[in-house]
Amino acid sequence: MQRFTLVLLTLLALTACQRGDPHSPVSLRKATFKEMLKSREAINAMLTGAKPYKADSVLQEAIKLQEKSTKPWAYFAEFTVNNQSDAKQKSDSADFHAAADNMQQQSNALKAAAQTGQEDRIRASYKAVEDACIRCHQQFRPG
């Protein structure tokens, strides 16, 4: 019984270690990307008809996405120095910074399109945001 308890406590301790610091750059970056994903999913649901299209809701989500699009990039430099990230980014990578800038530009364009309320402009801008995400993941995300 003591052996079982020891094994159980060891497993619990290891599980707790894997959670990491919620204030670490990795955790902050992941949280920001998750928030961005929620906004993208909400817009996508309205553009595909999964949810009723509401121009004001699209605008609110586009504003959230645009605001968040400036945040995650600052959280990459520290991991590269400490080798705590699997990301293929290097702190001096011009390509990475260009991809981050592109994401921000596309998010700004989506917000501007959403402000017009014109669904065709919103669709085109939304696709550009999605394409920016895909290109960045293909180029820099491991595995």
137 is an annotated ligand-binding site residue = yes
Query: Does 133 belong to an annotated binding site?
Result: yes
- Between the alpha carbon of residue 92 and those of residues 23, 27, 88, 118, the distances in Å are 24, 22, 12, 39
**CB neighbours (10 Å) of residue 106?**
22
Length of the chain, please?
143
Binding residues for heme c: 133, 136-137
Binding residues: 133, 136-137
